[in-house]
């Protein structure tokens, strides 16, 4: 199996981005026969989508996990749904600020993650890592990247893809975030291999 994990460059005045700091820590802890590819994406609507497309073409991964920063989060957020809307409260790193534009013109309204979210959620909680299933990835570059990945992998038989939002380093240490991403990847590989099944684990919200 080949795994692609991505994080983002800093944005919005931040000097660091915990998503990339965690992703770049993964190779040093990676073991096993599965191949790991990591990459840093630009925080631009056009650039991130283009970079993801090129990475998929170059590496043909079986599993794709994109990570991004959710600066107000206090837990790892396993994103359930990507929507076909780009609506930027702040400009991206190239100065673009789309309002109510589609990520992919003519694309479906939304895509669901194809990662085994409940397997990952249970494993993260068993490891003592705060984690939730989130039902909104926002409308900024993270959501656009998530949507693009799902759109591009929809025709790739067997490819699993999804998005994970991570807290700032002062809310969750980077080494813990890296461990969380590793767990998401490992549980997805186990699920693909038939070693684990999705549990009947409620993780919804009332609002």
Whether residue 206 lies inside any domain: the answer is no
pLDDT band at 154 (very low <50, low <70, confident <90, very high): very high
* Alpha carbon distance 110, 113 (integer Å): 10
pLDDT cut 90: percent of the chain above it: 87
Residue 154 lies in a domain: yes
- pLDDT, tens digit (0-9, with 9 covering 90-100), for 92-134: 999 999 999 999 999 999 999 999 999 999 999 999 999 999 9
Q: Judge whether 150 lies within some domain.
A: yes
Which pLDDT belongs to residue 199? Answer: 77
Residue 24 is part of a domain; what is its CATH number?
Answer: 3.40.630.20
Q: Residues 181-189: what's their mean pLDDT?
A: 97
* Domain assignment present for 12: yes
Q: Which of 79, 150, 182, 191 is catalytic?
A: 79
Q: Which residue range is the domain that position 21 belongs to?
A: 2-192
Establish whether 165 is a catalytic residue.
Answer: yes
Structural domain count of the chain: 1
Sort residue 194 into left (φ over 0), alpha (ψ -120 to 50) or beta: left
Alpha-carbon distance of 23 to 35, in angstroms, equals 14
3-state SS, one letter per residue, for 134-188? ECCCCCCHHHHHHHHHHHHHCCCCCCEEEEEEECCCCCCCHHHHHHHHHHHHHHH
Active site residue 66: no
Residue 207 pLDDT grade (very low, low, confident, very high; cuts 50, 70, 90): low
Measuring CA to CA, how many Å separate 104 from each of 82, 146, 152, 197?
12, 12, 10, 32
- The active-site residue out of 66, 150, 151, 165 is 165
């Amino acid at each position: 199996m080949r795994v692609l994990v991505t994080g983002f460059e800093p944005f919005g005045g931040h000097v660091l981005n915990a998503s990339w700091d965690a992703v770049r820590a993964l190779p040093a802890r990676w073991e096993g026969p599965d191949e790991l590819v990591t990459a840093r994406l630009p925080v631009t609507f056009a650039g991130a989508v283009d970079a993801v497309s090129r990475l998929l073409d170059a590496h043909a991964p079986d599993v794709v996990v994109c990570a991004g920063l959710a600066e107000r989060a206090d837990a790892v957020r396993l994103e359930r749904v990507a929507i076909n809307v780009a609506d930027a409260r702040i400009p991206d790193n190239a100065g673009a600020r789309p309002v109510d534009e589609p990520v992919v013109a003519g694309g479906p309204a939304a895509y669901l993650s194809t990662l085994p979210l409940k397997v990952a959620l249970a494993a993260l909680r068993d490891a003592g890592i705060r984690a939730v299933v989130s039902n909104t990835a926002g409308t900024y570059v993270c959501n656009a990247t998530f949507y693009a990945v799902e759109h591009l992998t929809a025709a790739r038989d067997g490819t699993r893809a999804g998005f994970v939002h991570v807290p700032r380093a002062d809310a969750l240490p980077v080494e813990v975030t890296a461990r969380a991403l590793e767990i998401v990847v490992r549980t997805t590989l186990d699920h693909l291999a038939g070693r684990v099944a999705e549990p009947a684990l409620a993780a919804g919200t009332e609002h």
